[in-house]
Homo-oligomer: A and B are copies of this chain.
Amino acid sequence: MADVAPAINFNTKHLKKGDPLPPFAGKLRVYNMRYCPYAQRTVLALNAKRVDYEVVNVNLVDKPEWLTTKSAFGKVPALEIADGVTIYESLVTVNYIDDVYPQRPLRTRDPLRRAYDQILIEAIGPVQNMVQKLGGAPDAIDEPALDAYFKTLDLIQNELNKRRTAFLGGAEPGYGDYMIWPWLERILLYKHLNEKVEFNKPKYKQLAEYVQKMTEDPVVSQYAVSAEIFAKLMENFKNGIIDFDVLSQ
């Protein structure tokens, strides 16, 4: 484990149809999309463990022909472990990373806490839906979606209170924290679009503090995208433009 995080270029150009597959050079490789919350899970796990790896960003609208040879589902993330040996699906890659890199274990060894971490990850669905709605038609957010969203926030806050630790993982973030984070981060970025999703209020004091601490975590901040960039992406998207490379050189 390196003393400092390896310098990873997260902002490589997104390869598209017709672009050749960069030859595998023996370094662990993540097939990623810079703004994909699922792929972010894999990136956060690798960053938490300070593993050195390379990022191959992929244009998910105009997909390169070779993508399905890396993920049978043609999606990101995929993790290439050896030349042509690839696993995919966000939690599958993170579980593998946690299995093979022993430094800073992400999953607790306590079976019951481990189960509750997984339950929270399952429970994040309504927050994922809310992120989609905020990105699409924020004015159309209805009561059932809000109820489900706040029910998930209740579950997260209750679990934090039960554990009495700064993070679900303890004194620093762990599996549960990083696996639900990408959508909490996007709620922060999008919440101005509909005030009904705001959780910075007395009822969610602990949750709001937790989210604030998460934004300050170096593993998280290292990969964070600014509100300005997200606003630009969203503005482009509304005009029918998906500019994957807004952060790239």
Contacts and interface: CB of A to CB of B under 8 A. Distances in A.
Interface of A: 72-73, 81, 85, 87-89, 91-93, 95-96, 99-100, 111-112, 114-116, 118-119, 122-123, 151, 155
Contacts of A114: 95-96, 99
B155 A119 contact: no
Contacts of A111: 96, 99-100
A185 B72 CA distance: 24
The A contact surface, by secondary structure, is: helix
Contacts of A112: 81, 85, 87, 96
Given A96-B111, A100-B111, A111-B99, A89 B118 contact: yes
Contacts of A88: 119
A155 B151 CA distance: 37
Contacts of A85: 112
A73 B154 CA distance: 13
10 contacts: A72-B123, A72-B151, A89-B119, A92-B115, A92-B118, A95-B114, A95-B118, A96-B114, A96-B115, A99-B114
Contacts of A119: 72, 87-89, 92
B92 A122 contact: yes
Contacts of A99: 111, 114
A234 B240 CA distance: 46
Given A85-B112, A87-B115, A87-B116, 18 more contacts: A73-B122, A73-B123, A87-B119, A88-B119, A89-B118, A89-B119, A89-B122, A91-B118, A92-B115, A92-B119, A92-B122, A93-B115, A95-B115, A96-B112, A96-B114, A96-B115, A99-B111, A100-B111
A42 to B, nearest CB: 12
Nearest to A90: B122
Q: Which interface residue of A91, A99, A115, A151 has the most chain B CB atoms within 10 A?
A: A115
A72 B95 CA distance: 25
A99 to B, nearest CB: 4
A122 B123 CA distance: 17
A132 to B, nearest CB: 19
A185 B116 CA distance: 30
Contacts of A116: 87
A25 to B, nearest CB: 20
